[in-house]
Amino acid sequence: MSKPALYYATLSPPSRAVLLTAKAIGLDLELRPINLLNGEHLTPEFLKLNPQHTIPTLIDGEATIIDSHAICAYLVEKYGQKEQQLYPKDLVQRANVDARLHLDSGHLFARLRFLYEPILYYGSTDCSIDKIAYIQKCWEILEGFLKDQPYLCGSDLTIADFCAVATVTSVNDVAPIDEFKFPKVHAWLKRLAELPYYQEVNGDGADELKSIFKAKLAENRGK
């Protein structure tokens, strides 16, 4: 039986969320890197595979699955029988995980993209206080969810934590998280960073993305 194949980029927070999930369930993926900055996700071949031209994209047998949140849920459902707490079967618990996944896609990652994409791809120099403050409003939301629990959905680590941490750690240099205002967020980040596979799978890629963003912003402003 062939391994599931993942089109991904280490610069991509959603890709890293899927890689964190795969590591957590002990799943070996066939990794197929895509260079986003060179536009490899816009080639005719990739558009045929995924008309939305997003990564990650998962190929598992005859199935093609797009969107990191859907992929994470799928992998736990199919391959994570011993780690079901990552995407629980209980209807209420699962609904809470789904809600936090929508928090990532609709707020966390959407606001990161609103800041990063024009600078990385279109030569923008707009890294305004307003855009940064718009991202930082999310820290208040996360602090609220983490007020009385170690993870976003309670006492157990879930795929919602993987998706959110991949995004947060990709933008927390330009949009700092005040440790006095948001101590629970800082504790959550530290907790996730202690996972044995965290640095290799998420930390390094997040640091690389932040470095590229800073360099590209400086380059754009120097033109």
12 given a catalytic annotation: yes
Q: DSSP secondary-structure letter at 105?
A: I
Tell me, rounded to whole angstroms, the distance of Cα 108 from its chain centroid.
Answer: 9
Tell me, rounded to whole angstroms, the distance of Cα 142 from its chain centroid.
Answer: 15
Q: How far apart are CA 38 and CA 101, in angstroms?
A: 28
Q: How many Cβ atoms from other residues are within 10 Å of residue 178's Cβ?
A: 12
Catalytic residue among 12, 15, 68, 170: 12
Q: Are the C-beta atoms of residues 11 and 17 closer than 8 Å to each other?
A: no
Helix axes 129-145, 159-168, angle to 10 degrees: 150
Q: Give the catalytic positions in this structure.
A: 12
